[in-house]
Amino acid sequence: MAVSEAMRMLEAPLPILSFLFGVLSVLTPCVLPVIPVIGSYAARTGRFVPLALVSGFSISFVAMGILASAFGQILQPLGDLLRYGAGGIMILMGVYILIEEYLPPEVLSGLSLSRVLGGLSSKVGAEINGIGGGVLLGVTLGIVWIPCIGPILGSILAMVAVEAKLLYGSFLLILYSAGMAIPFLIIAYGSNLAVKRVKALSSHLPLISRLSGVILIAAGIYFGMMG
């Protein structure tokens, strides 16, 4: 029974979406620009500090997944209505990403906050040393980045809430964290060439953002139709 459950977890499209959502979260305007700063500092501080840092933000995301699963268990009697609602949330988040650049400044006040927090996170990184400090900074980043990665993170948490299984929810958030961690570690342990490529990629962020919106909408439609 345990083996069949594990196979179901791996074969479903949700693990793939979770990992993809993690990668897309890295490619957001207030996350990607600060990664070279934080990553290079972490690597200089200690050989294993970048690993400690990604472990820290993974802890934050998995904790959110556990809370979402617990919340989903409470709402599980709603059945298909909960699934349709989660699909609707994903579609709305995708639409928001697509129209974000056309919204008036007062609606986007949270974006300036996310930039401030992103700058703050890089300063915090300059004051924390060691593996324990790396974990602490990672946990902090997991919270600090919420205003920026909210649409994507909110979508995966909606999926987790519908599944309403603590183990499976944790598994999906681990994959989401891996999607963020792998690019981060490549940059942290990479050469100056990797940093230059990040800077070059930054010029394509608007296109990547629109692609993220389309993926969220498609995932929301698919998720809402799942039986």
In a domain, 6, yes or no: no
Tokens at residue 149, please?
A: 């990665």
pLDDT at 11: 47
pLDDT at 5: 46
Q: How far apart are CA 25 and CA 152, in angstroms?
A: 7
Q: How many domains does the structure of the chain reveal?
A: 1
In a domain, 201, yes or no: yes
Q: Give the residue numbers spanning the domain of 146.
A: 16-225
pLDDT at 19: 92
- Identify the CA nearest to 114 among candidates 29, 39, 38, 181: 29
Residue pair 72/162 in contact by the 8 Å Cβ criterion: yes
187: Cβ–Cβ under 8 A, 6 or more apart, which residues? Answer: 35, 36, 39, 40, 194, 195, 198
pLDDT at 113: 43
pTM: 0.76
In a domain, 2, yes or no: no
pLDDT at 128: 54
pLDDT at 7: 43
In a domain, 3, yes or no: no
Tokens at residue 57, please?
A: 């933000």
pLDDT at 134: 81
Q: How far apart are CA 92 and CA 212, in angstroms?
A: 12
In a domain, 49, yes or no: yes
Q: What is the DSSP string of 160-202?
A: HHHH--HHHHHHHHHHHHHHHHHHHHHHHHS-HHHHHHHHHHH
Dump pLDDT digits (tens) for 99-157.
776 666 544 444 444 444 445 444 444 455 677 878 888 888 888 777 778 788 888 88
pLDDT at 6: 47
- Identify the CA nearest to 140 among candidates 117, 116, 110: 117
In a domain, 72, yes or no: yes
Q: How far apart are CA 107 and CA 43, in angstroms?
A: 37
In a domain, 42, yes or no: yes
Q: Which residue's entry shows tokens 């929810």?
A: 169
Q: How far apart are CA 140 and CA 54, in angstroms?
A: 11
pLDDT below 50 — which residues of the chain? 1, 3-11, 106-118, 120-126
In a domain, 105, yes or no: yes
